A and B are shown apart, each in its own frame.
Chain A
Amino acid sequence: MTGMREIDVDVLIIGAGPAGSAAAIAAKEEGIDNLLVLDREAEIGGILKQCIHNGFGLHRFHEELTGPEYAQRDIDRMAELNIPVQCSTMVIDIDPGKRATAISREHGVQVFHAKAVVLAMGCRERPRGALAIPGTRPAGIFSAGTAQKFVNMHSYMPGKRVVILGSGDIGLIMARRMTLQGAKVLACAELMPYSSGLNRNIVQCLHDYNIPLLLSHTVVDIRGRERVEGVTIAKVDQKLQPIPGTETDYPCDTLLLSVGLIPENELTKQMRVEMSAVTQGAVVDDTLQTSAEGVFACGNVLHVHDLVDFVSEESAKAGKAAADYVLGKRGAVQAMLPVKDGDGVCGVVPQRIRQYRDAAQATDVRVMFRPDRVYQNVTVQVLDGTVPVRSVKKRIMAPGEMAELVLTAKTVQGLSADGLTVRIVP
């Protein structure tokens, strides 16, 4: 191994999307100078680069930005702070001792020895292989995000007559985008009886262009040898099984899949940190630290978010915590209180809350989760053992919108050692 460089870094951040950028900015602002951000793509910004539509930044900047504009705010701030970023550099290996191996054309093989690591690799789309749709394997089947990259970053239209399976936000956004570029979008089929996309996108991306949203429908066949020639859509029953006799053929040349996102945790697993089967991300405490000391996770690699604003907020917290870890500024912990999913609740983050010896160290804790289905007029309760410590009324909850509630520092310091449960009470 000639020419391999060994480099010591205080805080190593993997990923320069919105999560990694926010973590880097926060770590630098907290006083870390020897930090480094790595990204496998040629430019900073992650998925925001291809999200040319507007709707980003309302919470963080109180104005509506497009994806590239939102990314630019972080790019500018990182430049101001002289934060080093290596693009076109891919981390191929990382061990539990925080030793990361990265490759790039420019720098060859580099080995980084980090005091703290922030995992900010984002997520990827569920592919066709995860769906088990019967039929042939022709060209013309894309994940919605792949189509988005083709159209928005390469000015290349992947097809002319399009069917969309799944009603996630990227699929809805692409229904509009393809229509505006001259394609005919025939239908958007959703397996569940509700859409996982935002209401605004259903109205402005489907209704505006008279694209039907077929709830409780799925694709049961794909035809075509070289290229997609058509798909068959059928209605499904309450057990999500196709109902014979309800099949309709849609002649088309393209099928877009918008059927969910999976956190990209190959590196996280190499670090052997505890994982959650529900979020498919690491188990973290309220400072975003994983089960390994000095290893933090944030953004979509931790749990899939709906809004980038909350990714930035969460990731800034992780960056600050990583810096504090390196600087020895973290408060002594008296207890780690587990937080569990109760009735109706899926994937609470964080899964642990730190209770400090010195109450002055405590901060408010934001708990995020998704409901397992649509609920109306319910109460979200946090139980300490069996005692309710926080209740919030919600008029409507849907799996497509992340729910949250805040436990004050005072509440957290007053909790027993029994552990917390978050549940939805009708």
Chain B
Amino acid sequence: MEKTFTCINCPIGCQLTAEVDGDQVTKVQGAGCNRGVAYAKQEALHPTRMVTAVVNVPECELPLSVKTAAPIPKEKIFDCMKAIEAAQVKTPVHIGDVVCKDVCGTGIDVVSTRELP
């Protein structure tokens, strides 16, 4: 199967084509450098993204900003947003405090990115 991507490593934005056979990338075309090859392999097999959002905290004027501690599989982004929306937070919160543990079974936590006294 062939998959196409725009490389994000630099402003050239090479159009990459990855040949995928099962769980292997057999060929990458269109990359101007090796970073593009690595990116195409990652995107073809396991595309991941960071998710950032905010959580409302009772009695706080400002919502709490949060992020996934690491990129999660791309197809889980919207499920992750739902889990974040349902999260209950109690003050005080420090940067790095876990807001949702093991979000959507990814093994990755959603953590706070703000100090909330």
**B13 partner residues in chain A, CB cutoff 8 A:** 199, 202
Report Cα–Cα, A102/B43, bound state, in Å.
52
How many A-B pairs have beta carbons closer than 8 Å: the answer is 72
Known: A68-B114, A199-B10. A152 touches B49 (CB 8 A): no
Interface pair B113/A66, CB less than 8 Å apart? yes
Contacting A at CB under 8 A, from B48-97, are 49-54, 56, 62-63, 65, 67, 74, 77-78, 81, 95
The interface of chain A, by Cβ under 8 A from chain B, is 52-54, 64-69, 72, 151-155, 180-181, 198-200, 202-204, 207-208, 376, 395-398, 400-401
Q: Smallest distance from the beta carbon of A154 to chain B beta carbons, Å? A: 8
Report Cα–Cα, A343/B11, bound state, in Å.
21
Interface pair B11/A72, CB less than 8 Å apart? no
Known: A52-B65, A68-B65, A180-B77. A155 touches B54 (CB 8 A): yes
Interface pair A54/B54, CB less than 8 Å apart? no
- Closest B residue to A156 using CB positions: B63
**B49 partner residues in chain A, CB cutoff 8 A:** 204, 208
Q: Smallest distance from the beta carbon of B5 to chain A beta carbons, Å? A: 8
Interface pair B12/A395, CB less than 8 Å apart? yes
B102 at the interface (CB under 8 A from A): no
- Closest B residue to A376 using CB positions: B12
Report Cα–Cα, A199/B95, bound state, in Å.
29
B115 at the interface (CB under 8 A from A): yes
Closest 4 CB pairs of A and B: A52-B65, A200-B8, A66-B113, A68-B114
Interface pair A207/B74, CB less than 8 Å apart? no
The interface of chain B, by Cβ under 8 A from chain A, is 5-8, 10-13, 32, 49-54, 56, 62-63, 65, 67, 74, 77-78, 81, 95, 113-115
Q: Smallest distance from the beta carbon of A341 to chain B beta carbons, Å? A: 21
**B53 partner residues in chain A, CB cutoff 8 A:** 52, 180
- Closest B residue to A75 using CB positions: B115
Q: Smallest distance from the beta carbon of B1 to chain A beta carbons, Å? A: 19
**A203 partner residues in chain B, CB cutoff 8 A:** 5-6, 8
**A180 partner residues in chain B, CB cutoff 8 A:** 51, 53, 77-78, 81
Report Cα–Cα, A202/B10, bound state, in Å.
12
Report Cα–Cα, A65/B111, bound state, in Å.
12
Interface pair B6/A202, CB less than 8 Å apart? yes
**B114 partner residues in chain A, CB cutoff 8 A:** 68-69, 72
Interface pair B63/A153, CB less than 8 Å apart? yes
**A152 partner residues in chain B, CB cutoff 8 A:** 54, 63, 65
**A65 partner residues in chain B, CB cutoff 8 A:** 113
Report Cα–Cα, A400/B12, bound state, in Å.
12
Q: Smallest distance from the beta carbon of A223 to chain B beta carbons, Å? A: 31
Q: Which of B11, B56, B62, B77 contacts A199 (CB 8 A)?
A: B11
**A198 partner residues in chain B, CB cutoff 8 A:** 11
Q: Smallest distance from the beta carbon of B46 to chain A beta carbons, Å? A: 15
Report Cα–Cα, A424/B81, bound state, in Å.
45
**A207 partner residues in chain B, CB cutoff 8 A:** 6
- Closest B residue to A198 using CB positions: B11
